[in-house]
Chains A and B, each alone.
Chain A
């Protein structure tokens, strides 16, 4: 028998208090459960829905390069410059007259395009 005058509870008495406390554990009310579920559904809906104003996805290297060069307008200018460079490379300035004549339908010979001894006496015509 425990001595009521003792100043401390025994281990066994403390254990009985712990068990009593466990038995008196409060349970969540229906209102609390409803509030928690409402939170869960709201967060879930928000996470699944697409975010308005979200940053556009990356469009890849070439799209980024095109943008850096000024978009479509910049790219078409660049294309024109490349084509011009190609024509000048094929037809050096001293042959530009022959190229112009060809474009206008005039008679030109292949020798006009081939320098020196390599020239062949072939006449080309646009018929």
Chain B
């Protein structure tokens, strides 16, 4: 089946096709899911190489579970976000155990007036501040405010109540606002 013909097929149906030996379904799932997994892993880990490894591992788990996938129980993306978060947590724990202080540094250079550079500096500053948040707060903020998921889906991914998601995102945002408030000028927020 051509990739174009699969653009309207749900992830769950694609996974069943994959389990039945359809190679095109694997390609379609990879194209749709790998960017989302990589983005989430990158924001959780702050390291591209590590995020790529997590992406490959998360999708490997998806391929392996495909024959046993029970339709209707969970969305593929929800399951995949959960697996990705767990893999990231494992890696973050290992880093903490090794006591390596390699949290990505915020770029201290003053951004140029160029809008593109300011946007890049803002993204880097945010990623740096996110890395300082407690892991669960970071995950909730990233899922809600950058990846745009709704609270019920986040609660399913994180296996907590919707109220707990709201609490985590609120605390996370307050911490980010406080951490980045001191850098308002270099982030180009002179004129509100």
**B84 CB–A CB distance under 8 Å:** no
**B106 CB–A CB distance under 8 Å:** no
Q: Is the CB of B56 within 8 A of A36?
A: yes
Majority SS of interface residues in chain B?
helix
- Select B55's contact among A4, A28, A44, beta carbons within 8 Å: A28
**B123 CB–A CB distance under 8 Å:** yes
Contacts of B150 in A (CB 8 A): none
How distant is the Cα of A44 from the Cα of B60 in the complex, in angstroms? 11
Instruction: Return the chain A residue nearest B182 by Cβ.
Output: A7
Stretch touching chain A among B4-12, B19-27, B92-100, B132-140: B19-27
Q: Is the CB of A35 within 8 A of B180?
A: no
Q: Is the CB of B26 within 8 A of A40?
A: yes
Q: Mark interface residues in B28-42 (1 if CB within 8 Å of A CB, else 0).
A: 011100110011001
Contacts of A117 in B (CB 8 A): none
Known contacts A13-B189, A20-B122, A23-B123: A43-B184 contact under CB 8 Å = no
Nearest Cβ in chain B — how far from A63, in angstroms?
Answer: 29
**A80 CB–B CB distance under 8 Å:** no
Nearest Cβ in chain A — how far from B75, in angstroms?
Answer: 19
How distant is the Cα of A37 from the Cα of B63 in the complex, in angstroms? 10
How distant is the Cα of A85 from the Cα of B59 in the complex, in angstroms? 68
**A17 CB–B CB distance under 8 Å:** yes
Q: Is the CB of A44 within 8 A of B18?
A: yes
Q: Is the CB of B43 within 8 A of A33?
A: no
Q: Is the CB of A21 within 8 A of B146?
A: yes
Majority SS of interface residues in chain A?
helix
Known contacts A28-B34, A39-B59: A6-B18 contact under CB 8 Å = no
**A100 CB–B CB distance under 8 Å:** no
Nearest Cβ in chain B — how far from A10, in angstroms?
Answer: 8
Nearest Cβ in chain A — how far from B114, in angstroms?
Answer: 13
Q: Is the CB of A16 within 8 A of B19?
A: no
Known contacts A2-B190, A18-B146: A27-B35 contact under CB 8 Å = yes
Interface size on A, residues (CB 8 A): 38
**B154 CB–A CB distance under 8 Å:** no
- Select A40's contact among B59, B127, B176, beta carbons within 8 Å: B59
Listed in ascending order, the chain B residues whose CB lies under 8 Å from chain A are: 18-19, 21, 23, 26-27, 29-31, 34-35, 38-39, 42-43, 48, 51-52, 55-56, 59-60, 63-64, 66-67, 119-120, 122-127, 145-147, 173-174, 176-178, 180-182, 184-185, 187, 189-192
Listed in ascending order, the chain A residues whose CB lies under 8 Å from chain B are: 1-2, 4, 6-18, 20-29, 32-33, 35-37, 39-41, 43-44, 47-48
6 A–B contacts from the bound complex (CB under 8 Å):
A18-B145, A24-B119, A25-B35, A36-B30, A39-B60, A40-B63
With A1-B191, A33-B30 given, can you name 8 additional A-B contacts, CB distance below 8 Å? A2-B190, A2-B191, A22-B146, A24-B123, A24-B124, A27-B38, A36-B56, A40-B18
